Structure 1
Amino acid sequence: MSRSFTRRALMALALLSLTAAAPAPETRFSPEIARFAELDKATPPKPCGFLFTGSSSVRFWKSLDQDMAPHPVTNRGFGGSQIADVTLYFDQVVTPYRPRAIFFYAGENDLNAGRTPEQVVADFQAFLDRKDKTLGATKIYFISLKPSKARWDQFASQSQANAAIKALADQRPDLDYVDVVPAMLEAGAPKDIFVADGLHMTPAGYVLWTQVVRPVVEHEAKTGAACRG
């Protein structure tokens, strides 16, 4: 057996090993999606609440119920997700709840994975298209991509994506942009509101988010369109 053949065989085995180690997007989040189904079975969700979905910044908002009380909220964030993942699982994490409004946080992981701000906006447009098809004019509130210590080098890209989505919101009556960035910065740098990984927020971070997001929830509850549940 030639050395070149042996090298090619070893490379092929290594590639197969890497492929097996990286689960496909359709299965990577299966445990979390299954857990949502179990929660819904145990406590069937009431329609017309406020749905929060997206990545880990939503998932770890453990005080969300209390922070938005008495307004009914459902947390369907799943850690590590990108915008395309939320769209992929739309029928599991959005459709069943027939929400009065959707608060959406994703895109940060997309940029960290190498996607461009333009791709982030295109992926979000695909989510909006899916929402339009399934839920019509249901309002979407896009929570701006947050500055963090761990990803401070991506702040310029985050700002570019945020600006583009804000511009998109200016053109659509069913989309608003919720800017949490100013509340999270001090002297031009992220505040000390992060756990050890420098990425996920402490309860103090969620206090800041609540100060920005709760008034939006209250305004939507008072003035938003009638529930379509």
Structure 2
Amino acid sequence: MSRLPRFLPRILAALLLAVPACATPDQWAADIGKFTAADAAHPPAHGAVVFVGSSSIRFWTTLAEDFPGVATINRGFGGSELADSVFYADRIVISYAPRLVVVYAGENDIAAGKSPETVLADFRAFRTKVHAALPKTRILFLSLKESPVRAKVRPQVLATNRLIAADCATDARCTFVDVATPLLGAAGAYRPELFRPDQLHMLPAGYAIWTKVLAPYLKP
């Protein structure tokens, strides 16, 4: 009798381990669908400021209060990566014809093992797609924050920030905004009191710092 059946489970397991588990934009279809439904019920005005990106944007639920007099649209979704915002840009950015887009994404990418160069390429794809449709729209990229729970990837986070800052410097329509340094203490120490117990997502005190930094950029 062949001994293959005995080893078949091991072979299959090895094959499964060899294939990386890749997230696809489809996993966010329900989130995007909710945005579409909200737009149908209450169409946003064109010329607003769109906030887009991952959970640090999604959890920023006080945009209207933080930026009074500024029309804002929050389109942050899940634990998304920058490539997801590229994929859905038509529906969560371009369709609103905003005057300004505020982007926070890339931190999850680095945590998932993507290189700083890959995140840069995805940002370039994002701004290229947006500016192809909306050549006068400005883009603000918020620097990746240094989350205490992700201390081991701090070097990659800093490298990503440097690359995207340099890229933004090549286009007057793009601005890199450092919202990471103000979250740090003396000598670059983490400030756990600004974060939720997961030491990844910010508390209102963290968003208050971001608001102070960002407010001057949102003026018409």
Q: 1:10 to 1:159 in 2, by over 3 A?
A: closer
C-alpha distance in 2, partners of 1:6/1:54? Answer: 47
Structure 2 residues not aligned, in runs of 5+: none
Q: How far has the Cα of 1:215 moved from its partner? A: 1.5
Q: How is 1:107-146 mapped onto 2 (pairs within 5 angstroms)?
A: 107-146=106-145
* Corresponding residue number in structure 2 for 1:47: 46
* Corresponding residue number in structure 2 for 1:196: 197
Which region of structure 1 is more displaced relative to structure 2, 124-133 or 196-205?
124-133
C-alpha distance in 1, partners of 2:195/2:36? Answer: 30
Deviations 1:133-171 (A, max 9, x none): 121231100000001111122222111111111111111
User: Deviating runs (4+, > 4 A) in structure 1?
Assistant: 13-16
Letter in 1 for 2:2: S
Q: How far has the Cα of 1:3 moved from its partner? A: 3.1
* Corresponding residue number in structure 2 for 1:169: 168
* Corresponding residue number in structure 2 for 1:38: 37
Deviations 1:151-201 (A, max 9, x none): 122222111111111111111111001101221000222212111111000
* Corresponding residue number in structure 2 for 1:226: none
Structure 1 residues not aligned, in runs of 5+: 222-229
C-alpha distance in 2, partners of 1:24/1:158? Answer: 20
C-alpha distance in 1, partners of 2:177/2:185? Answer: 19
Q: How far has the Cα of 1:5 moved from its partner? A: 3.4
Q: How is 1:1-229 mapped onto 2 (pairs within 5 angstroms)?
A: 2-8=2-8, 11-12=11-12, 25-187=24-186, 188-191=188-191, 192-218=193-219, 221=220
Number of aligned residue pairs: 217
C-alpha distance in 1, partners of 2:106/2:98? Answer: 21
Q: How far has the Cα of 1:2 moved from its partner? A: 2.9
In the superposition, the TM-score normalised over structure 1's length comes to: 0.88
Q: How far has the Cα of 1:38 moved from its partner? A: 1.1
Deviations 1:1-51 (A, max 9, x none): 6332343256548967xx9xx685132101111111111111111100000
Letter in 2 for 1:176: T
C-alpha distance in 2, partners of 1:123/1:175? Answer: 15
